[in-house]
Amino acid sequence: MRIVVTGGAGFVGSHLTARLLEEGHEIVCIDNFMTSSEQTVEPFKAHPRWELIQHDIIDPVFLEGVDQLYNLACPAAPGHYQYNPVRTIKTSVQGVINMLGMARANGCRILQASTSEVYGNPTVTPQSESYHGNVNPIGRRACYDEGKRAAETLFFDYRREHDMDIRVARIFNTYGPHMHPFDGRVVSNFIRQAIAGDDITIFSDGSQTRSFCYVSDLVDGLVRLMNVEDFTGPVNLGNPEERTILELAEIILELTGSRSSLTTRPLPPDDPVRRCPDITLAREQLGWDPTVGIREGLEETIAYFQGLDFSEWTPPTPYWEAPPQD
């Protein structure tokens, strides 16, 4: 098949691309490289079935002969989506409208990479797809949280109005090689700090929880969702093994052999206290379950980070410290 992957140079997009190329498909990567690196797609450049279009999906783009479209384009880490919140929400609204339009014109199936952030700071745990969330619509995370909620709305309204073939995946915390070392995610922050010998920054007392899914497991779930029949989602894709942030820090210190100290800071506004997916629906509809344990996944991720020169990467600047870039 000819498959479009928007955000195909990003963390998840690059792993998805590798999987789809292995399956024999022709891949068109659309990416603006605002939060990704060309190093990530370097291995694909000589591949005869891979094509790159450097483009921002906020602006219209049209391709013909598309069989499937994975829409992964959107800054997904706090440091990136808060850098320019207006552009972030434009990506989840105007960009999604543009991609739905392309899919409709091609008559092809389209998958939206949504997020567990649609649940906000949840009042129930674990979170099932029937839970409507607890989101602050005017907070600093809202550009991403509400943007993704709006994207889901658009997907289902296009389905109702135009009978489109849609899929929606709610992705929980994912980690693995190709993460940006300064993206603001907890796994990348802790590993970078441990390797560099810097203090590991824990918000609050570290008792808040996350559920960490290795990227190969997530990609398998996305491919299964795209290819299953008669099921739209939304469906949670994440590892239901809940861990505290303090536990994560201790495991990373052990695996890296680092002597970094732990330091605490106040919990940021609207930061979820608990995050754990109910994946009953994924098991029933997709036959999907994560298989990579936390230690195995972290060892692979640490090995990747140990090969990086952190000085070559630019930390994102929060929007309240940076000039707007509409």
Q: Where are the alpha helices (DSSP H) in 198-286?
A: 215-227, 245-256, 280-286
- What are residue 219's phi and psi, to 5 degrees? -60, -40
Residues in the chain: 326
Maximum CA extent, the chain: 57
pLDDT at 106: 98
The residue extents of the domains of the chain are 2-176+213-240+276-291
Number of DSSP helices (H) and strands (E) in the chain, helices first: 11, 13
70 as an active site residue: the answer is: no
pLDDT at 205: 86
Q: Which of 3.40.50.720, 3.90.1640.30, 3.30.2010.10, 1.10.10.60 is the CATH number of 2-176+213-240+276-291?
A: 3.40.50.720
- 0.85 cut: is pTM over it? yes
How far is CA 204 from each of CA 135, 208, 254, 268, 289, rounded to the nearest angstrom? Answer: 20, 8, 21, 9, 31
Contact 139, 195 (CB under 8 A): no
Q: What is the pLDDT along the chain (326 residues), one digit of tens a residue?
A: 999 999 999 999 999 999 999 999 999 999 999 888 888 899 999 999 999 999 999 999 999 999 999 999 998 877 788 888 999 999 999 999 999 999 999 999 999 999 999 999 999 999 999 999 999 999 999 999 999 999 999 999 999 999 999 999 999 999 999 998 888 889 999 999 999 999 999 988 889 899 999 999 999 999 999 999 999 999 999 999 999 999 999 999 999 999 999 998 888 887 888 899 999 999 999 999 999 999 999 999 999 999 988 887 776 655 445 444 44
Q: Are 188 and 178 in contact (CB under 8 A)?
A: no
Find the catalytic residue in 144, 175, 214, 319.
144
pLDDT for res 258? 95
The pLDDT, as a whole number, for residue 215 is 98
Half-sphere exposure of 34 (CA within 13 A, CB side): 25
Nearest to 188 by CA among 80, 110, 266, 106: 80
On whether the CB atoms of residues 225 and 160 are closer than 8 A, the answer is no
